[in-house]
Structure 1
Amino acid sequence: MACNAVRSAAFLARGEPYFEEFDGNDLVSTTHLLAKCGKAPIGTMRVRILNAGAGGIAAWERLAILPNAGRHGTKALLGLARTARAYSEFKGVGSVVGAVENPKLLKFWQKHGFELMNVPPAVYNNVEYRQIRLNLRDPQTEPAESDDYDLVEALNGSVEYLDFDRYLSQHTGW
């Protein structure tokens, strides 16, 4: 609930449509990270596992820092990024994908190893989002299995990956 409150304050307050900010992915193979200043929540990020297989793909999404967080917002951003990376590595994720609109935030992610993907920007509500990718595998020992277009298709749900939730729904009728 605290994550939703932070996202509401950060995104709905600036005019983002509710149905886009709170989509059906909030409860599907997803972990929500929460950053606090003392006891008060000030930031959040959604980590969604797109492919639970070997190497895996995760999407880091819905990053929100409260506008009034001040200097604590930068610390929250760093903490969320470090925690998202540690969690993704723990889950065996080999690649992380995301999208960013803010040039300053793009520079932040690039300093932390993300690269721009070789795909056209996505446009939502007249805002252009650049697609980014972080390779968590050691390129010397593990070749990348997916190209940028495959990762964007996975992010958009166009590619069927076998994961536990889909397995259950296909084999148990849940």
Structure 2
Amino acid sequence: MTGARNRIGEQVLLRPVPPEAYLSYTAEMVRTLDEYHQVSAIRAAVFLSEQDCPYEEEFDGNDLCATHFLLKAKGRPVGTLRIRWFADFAKLERIVLLPCQRGRPGLRVLLATAFELVARKGYERMIGQIQARLWPVWSRTFRCRLIDGRAPFWFSDYEYREIEIFIPRHPKALQMLEDPYLIIRPEGAWDEPGVLEASAQRSNSGEQAA
């Protein structure tokens, strides 16, 4: 997804991503331990240091069952978010930028890239738990609404509200009966042949291997 427009993901945003932003920023799914260390460093710098969040509340036991995205500005890690997956919705969490990147278009690159993946996986709605003080910011950033009838709640010393985020239907949303090789490709790289497809060429017989 590097350098390419996230055409479905951008439809969630209230302002388009400037084309030149894709030249300055990359946002990609975290696939390696080193990339996850970069995610942790950014979150520690902001949530633990700036917001004085306790370590065990920030690193809450959900990181290894979530999908993380890492934003880089000219190769430097500057932002991240994570997504967790449920039956008919996804949950947007831990959106964070280093101070030097706030108010710049990198956030829109990060969000559009994440929303693109959510749509491709077939989800059409997300939930977010946002600090109540930031509702004016998020309501101007992407298509969302406060969920009716849901009271504010508190954790880690901040008041939170629940929002619903609307995701357009992706024309290539994945289905259960896709080509089996497509389904076993690396997450998010479904349009590129994977290593397991190449491995199929090793067999020159019709025998099934356990």
Structure 1 length-normalised TM: 0.68
SS at match of 1:15: coil
User: Residue 70 of structure 1: CA displacement?
Assistant: 5.1
> Percent of counterpart pairs with the same letter?
34
The corresponding residue for 2:166 is 135
State which of 22, 27, 50 in structure 1 corresponds to 2:59: 22
Q: Gaps spanning 5+ residues in structure 1: where?
A: 139-174
> 2:39 is aligned with what amino acid?
C
Q: Is the 8 A contact 2:69 2:82 kept in 1?
A: yes
- Give distance in 2, aligned partners of 1:125 and 1:2: 23
Q: Gaps spanning 5+ residues in structure 2: where?
A: 1-36, 170-210
More helix per residue: 1 or 2?
1
RMSD: 1.8
The corresponding residue for 2:86 is 50
Larger radius of gyration: 2
User: Residue 85 of structure 1: CA displacement?
Assistant: 1.0
Structure 2 length-normalised TM: 0.57
Answer 1 or 2: higher relative contact order, Cα 8 Å, separation at least 6.
2
1:88 lines up with 2:122 in the alignment: no
- Give distance in 1, aligned partners of 2:55 and 2:138: 26
State which of 61, 86, 89 in structure 1 corresponds to 2:93: 61
User: Residue 50 of structure 1: CA displacement?
Assistant: 1.8
- Superposed, 1:20-169 pairs within 5 Å as 20-28=57-65, 30-51=66-87, 56-69=88-101, 71=103, 74-101=104-131, 103=133, 105-111=134-140, 112-118=142-148, 119-136=150-167
Q: Can you list the C-alpha shifts for 1:112-153, whole angstroms capped at 9, x where unaligned?
A: 111001201120133101111113267xxxxxxxxxxxxxxx
- Give distance in 2, aligned partners of 1:132 and 1:102: 10
Q: Which 4+ residue blocks in structure 1 deviate beyond 3 angstroms?
A: none
